[in-house]
C-alpha cells in the first residue's frame, strides 16, 4: 500500500504533508471494501431469516454428511478457509452466512458482486459480513488498473486470510444463466492466489458449498 501511494505521489515519500492525505484515502478505500461487523444485526437477521424461511419454503434440508465434511475442514490447523459457491438466489449470502455462523465457523466475509446496492443496503450488508470491490479510479504509471485501491484490496484479503476469517466467494452472478466465472469472482480468486503465491499464507483450503432450490426465490 505504501509503495502504491508513493508511486502515485510521484515518489515524494518524504513529504510529511502528503502522508495524512494518503492515509485518509486508504481509510476511504477500506470503508468501501468492508464495514465493522454488528453482532446485534447478525442475531436480528438470523431471527428474521428463520421466520422468512418458514414462509418461503415448505421445508429446508441440511445434508449432515456434507456439513461434517465442512466442519472437519474447519478444524485444519493454521489454514484459512475459502468457501466457493454457486449463486442461485439473492438469499444465498444470508443463508450460507447464517448456516456457517450457527455451526460455530464464525461470520464469513461474503463477496458481493456487481449488482447495484443503495448506500443503506450496502451498509447493512457490510455490517453482516459483506465485502465489496472498491471503485477503481486510480491507475499506475504503467496504465494497469491497479493503483492504490488495488493495493488496499490485496492487503485486505491478505489480512483476512492471515487472521483465518472465513471468506465466501460466489463464482457467478445470480440469475446469470451461464456457467462461467463472473468478473468479480475472478478478481477475488486472483487475490487469494496472489496471497498464496507471495507466501502471505502457507496454504489455503478451498471448500465448495452451495444451496439447491426446487424453485429459486
Average pLDDT over residues 155-160: 94
The pTM score is 0.80
Whether residue 11 is predicted with pLDDT greater than 70 in this model: the reply is no
124: in domain: yes
216: in domain: no
120: in domain: yes
Average pLDDT over residues 41-47: 87
Structural domain count, the chain: 1
73: in domain: yes
Can you say whether residue 196 is alpha, beta or left, with left for phi > 0 and alpha for psi between -120 and 50 degrees? Answer: alpha
16: in domain: yes
37: in domain: yes
25: in domain: yes
Contact between 38 and 127 under an 8 Å Cβ cutoff? The reply is yes
Predicted confidence at residue 114, as pLDDT, reads 65
Predicted confidence at residue 217, as pLDDT, reads 60
**CA separation for the pair 107, 104 (Å, rounded):** 9
Average pLDDT over residues 139-150: 57
**83-141 pLDDT, tens digit each:** 998 877 777 888 888 888 888 888 889 998 766 678 888 888 899 899 998 876 444 44
**Boundaries of domain holding 68:** 2-209
Predicted confidence at residue 168, as pLDDT, reads 93
- CA angle 112/208/166 to nearest 5° reads 55
153: in domain: yes
Amino acid at each position: 500500500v505504501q509503495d502504491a501511494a508513493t508511486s502515485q505521489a510521484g515518489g515524494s515519500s518524504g513529504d510529511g504533508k502528503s502522508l495524512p492525505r494518503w492515509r485518509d484515502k486508504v481509510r476511504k478505500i477500506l470503508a468501501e471494501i468492508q464495514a465493522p461487523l454488528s453482532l446485534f444485526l447478525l442475531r436480528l437477521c438470523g431471527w428474521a431469516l428463520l421466520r422468512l424461511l418458514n414462509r418461503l419454503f415448505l421445508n429446508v434440508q441440511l445434508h449432515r454428511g456434507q456439513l461434517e465434511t465442512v466442519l472437519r475442514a474447519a478444524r485444519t490447523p493454521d489454514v484459512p478457509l475459502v468457501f466457493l459457491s454457486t449463486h442461485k438466489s439473492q438469499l444465498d449470502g444470508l443463508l450460507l452466512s447464517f448456516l456457517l455462523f450457527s455451526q460455530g465457523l464464525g461470520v464469513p466475509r461474503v463477496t458481493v458482486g456487481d449488482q447495484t446496492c443503495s448506500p443503506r443496503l450496502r451498509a447493512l450488508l457490510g455490517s453482516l459480513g459483506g465485502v465489496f470491490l472498491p471503485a477503481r479510479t486510480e491507475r499506475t504509471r504503467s496504465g494497469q488498473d491497479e493503483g492504490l485501491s488495488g493495493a488496499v484490496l490485496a492487503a485486505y484479503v491478505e489480512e483476512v486470510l492471515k487472521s483465518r476469517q472465513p471468506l465466501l466467494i460466489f463464482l457467478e452472478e445470480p440469475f446469470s444463466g451461464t456457467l462461467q466465472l463472473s468478473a468479480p469472482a475472478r478478481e477475488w480468486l486472483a487475490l487469494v492466489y496472489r496471497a498464496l503465491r507471495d507466501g502471505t499464507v502457507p496454504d489455503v483450503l478451498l471448500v465448495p458449498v452451495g444451496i439447491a432450490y426446487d424453485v429459486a426465490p
